[in-house]
Structure 1
Amino acid sequence: MNQSDNLLVVLDDDKIMHLLLRKRINLLGLVSDLKFFDQASDALNFLSEAPQAVVISDLNLGVMEAWEFLDSLFNQGFQGKFFLMSSSIINSDRVRANADPRVSGFFEKPLSETDLIQILQA
């Protein structure tokens, strides 16, 4: 993560995933500012003031799916890096993510330390 990219935002409606990721990310010691959200609308509001953040979003969010979140995020001027994660093994999701230039990477849940290092060094 570059000095200017010291903010990592995680969006996932699964609180257990928040705990797991917080522990893994803190063990790596590569992030100075870490925020978790379980509602896409809350994350969008926060990110409107932090357009350079690195975002990791679950694909399936419940009320607003990740694709709608991604559209809204970039419509409000987001300039950071956006990564998707999913426990889904549906190949079309990976193909769509790889074809979208706004998506910096697609990872399977749960994220490993290797995945997190790759995200944070992107």
Structure 2
Amino acid sequence: MTQIKKRQIAVLDDDQIQHILFRKRATQLALDIQLDFFEEPETLLEFMKSNEVETIISDLNLESMSGWLFIEVLFKTGFEGKLFIVTASIIPADRTKAKKEKRIQGFYEKPLSDSDLIQILTA
């Protein structure tokens, strides 16, 4: 019998509290997904060398490199999955830039509403 593979979703946020909240809320939805959490973009990029990631949910405010630099590096790797921005950034230019970038599926502000979370995790 063939085993159905869970959708692989990576969450990049340097705030561990956000990881805990995100995992708890996602678990309550009982979706058939595999969530992996990363605090540093470099760690996620290394993980992707040996793991297939279908969806990435990234903050823009990261310590080791900006979220925009991470996105630039990510697309240079040939990533063809879905990318969502979930951030506390209130800078209008961030939203505008995300909307212009066709490879970004959505821009969401923290805290995520339940409907936004469902929309991201089921996309």
3-state SS in 2 of match to 1:35: strand
Q: How many residues align?
A: 120
Report the residue type matching 1:32 in the other structure: I
Query: Larger deviation: 41-50 or 88-97?
Result: 41-50
The Cα shift of 1:92 comes to: 0.8
Query: Larger deviation: 32-41 or 3-12?
Result: 3-12
Q: Detail structure 1 runs of 4+ shifted over 6 Å in the superposition.
A: none
Report the equivalent of 2:109: 108
Report the residue type matching 1:54 in the other structure: T
* 8 A Cα contact 1:9 1:56, kept in partner: yes
Larger radius of gyration: 2
Q: Which runs of no fewer than 5 residues in structure 2 stay unpaired?
A: none
Report the equivalent of 2:92: 91
Structure 2-normalised TM-score? 0.89
Alignment of 1:45-56 (within 5 A): 45-56=46-57
**Cα deviations across residues 59-111 of structure 1 (Å, max 9, x unaligned)?**
11111111111111111111110000111211111000000011110000122
**Identity across aligned pairs (percent)?**
46
* 8 A Cα contact 1:11 1:56, kept in partner: yes
How far apart in 1 are the matches of 2:38 and 2:76? 19
How far apart in 2 are the matches of 1:114 and 1:70? 25
Report the equivalent of 2:24: 23
Report the residue type matching 1:71 in the other structure: E
Alignment of 1:4-19 (within 5 A): 6-19=7-20
Q: Which runs of no fewer than 5 residues in structure 1 stay unpaired?
A: none
Structure 1-normalised TM-score? 0.90
